[in-house]
Amino acid sequence: MPTGHRRKTTRPRDATGLQVYSARMPVDVDAVVISNTQLSDFYNVVALAAPDVARQARPGQFVMVKPDQGYDPLLRRPFSVFEILRDQDGEVTGLSLLNKRIGVTTRRLYDVAPGERVQCLGPLGQAFDAPAADQQAWMVAGGVGLAPFLTLAESLVEHSLTTRLFYGGRSADDLFYLETFESLGVTLELTTDDGTRGHHGLVTGPLQRALEATSPTTSVRLYSCGPTPMMRAVTELAAAHGRSTDVSLEQVMGCGLGGCYSCVVPVTESGQPTRFVRSCLQGPVFDGGRVDWNQL
């Protein structure tokens, strides 16, 4: 059984000797890997038995993960919460990560075997703001940027909002979980760099057409996650149509808790000089219009 290290030794303990904690406090779990599903040569989904983390997580939040003991690699890595896992009775049993292999830790997670353990701290950071009741919600994902949108889609659909997913990948093999989104009632707009599925080209293509086709009186809220140039383009495109965009930024993070100041994002308020704010505390979700993209 994964053991959740709870915060604060001074907190009261319940009869079982476990500490009682209030909701929405990050916990650190030595989580057992339930399964590892390799989706392609680069992508996989790792399911972790971390119910205490999963129960608290809201769409857009992240966890800090360390699959290996030892000091090389040393630091944890940030990952979006991809799915909340439940058993037949609907009880939360854990969460999954959508992992893209690009370096040491993501390679390790790509190869992780069921039964192994992954240290998992969370949930952390700010969630996406929910749209207003009368707003449409458009999600714009590039590659592994899909990760935060499955839980977001679920919560949007719960509130029965009109939701669309603009989703771009390298090729047809690089687009995942399409049926899952469709079964939630999400309208898909797919693009691939090589044209093997959906529109040929960048995800901003269909997005632009959709923005142009939508009446300015229809209220739309945009959410974007993917490569930085994509998020910038989405933000600028949306702004040109009078829409604002939540972006989920992928800054390098040393601690995830506000301790190291490594993860800063340059943010501008109207007229104010740029300030560096910590993405792990004030993000990873930012109003794209406030990000000083030239400094990022």
Partner 1 sequence: MSDLSVTIGSLRLGNPLIAASGCFGYGVEYADLVALDTLGGIAVKGLFLEEREGHPPQRIVETPSGMLNAIGLQGIGVRRFVAEKLPELKQHGAIVVVNICGSTVGEYAEIARILDDADSVDAIELNISCPNISKGGMMFGCSLDGTHDVVAAVRRVTDLPVMPKLTPNVTDVASFAVAAEEAGADAVSLVNTFLATAIDVETRRPRLSNVLGGLSGPAIRPIAVRMVHECRQAIKIPIVGMGGIMTAEDVLEFMIAGATAVQVGTANFVDPLIWDKLLDGLRAYLDRHDLPGLTSVIGSLELEERTAACKSSS
Binding letters toward ligand FAD, positions 135-154, x by CB under 6 A? ---------x--x-------
Residue type, 194: D
| Contacting positions for partner 1 (CB under 8 A) | 5, 7-10, 25-26, 28, 66, 71-76, 119, 121, 251-252, 254-255, 257-267, 273-278, 281-282, 292, 294-296
- Spatial distance between the Cα atoms of 214 and 217, rounded to a whole number of angstroms: 8
32: its two tokens: 């057992």
83 lines the binding site for ligand FAD (CB under 6 A): no
- Which among 19-27, 65-73, 78-86, 287-295 is the span making contact with a copy of itself, rule CB under 8 A? 65-73
The answer to whether 203 touches 142, Cβ cutoff 8 Å, is yes
Neighbouring CB atoms inside 10 A of 16's CB total 7
The answer to whether 4 touches 85, Cβ cutoff 8 Å, is no
- The conformation of residue 81, written as its DSSP 8-state character, comes to -
CB half-sphere exposure, 44, CA atoms < 13 A: 20
Instruction: Report CA Rg, the chain.
Output: 19
The answer to whether 26 touches 33, Cβ cutoff 8 Å, is no
Q: Which member of 73, 201, 205, 266 binds a copy of itself (CB under 8 A)?
A: 73
Q: Which member of 30, 42, 55, 68 binds a copy of itself (CB under 8 A)?
A: 68
CA dihedral 112, 115, 117, 123 (to 10 degrees): 90
State which residue, 185 or 259, has the beta carbon closest to ligand FES: 259
104 lines the binding site for a copy of itself (CB under 8 A): yes
Q: Which member of 113, 160, 270, 272 binds a copy of itself (CB under 8 A)?
A: 113
Pairing of strands 163-169, 136-142: parallel
32 lines the binding site for a copy of itself (CB under 8 A): no
* Residue 144 touches which member of partner 1, a copy of itself, ligand FAD, none, C-beta under 5-8 Å by kind: ligand FAD
102 lines the binding site for ligand FAD (CB under 6 A): yes
State which residue, 84 or 265, has the beta carbon closest to partner 1: 265
Longest dimension (CA), the chain: 60
Give least dist CB 225 to ligand FES, A: 18
Strand partners, 265: 277
Give least dist CB 88 to a copy of itself, A: 30
Q: By the criterion CB under 6 A, which residues form the site for ligand FAD? A: 62, 73, 77-80, 97-100, 102-106, 144, 147, 250-253, 284
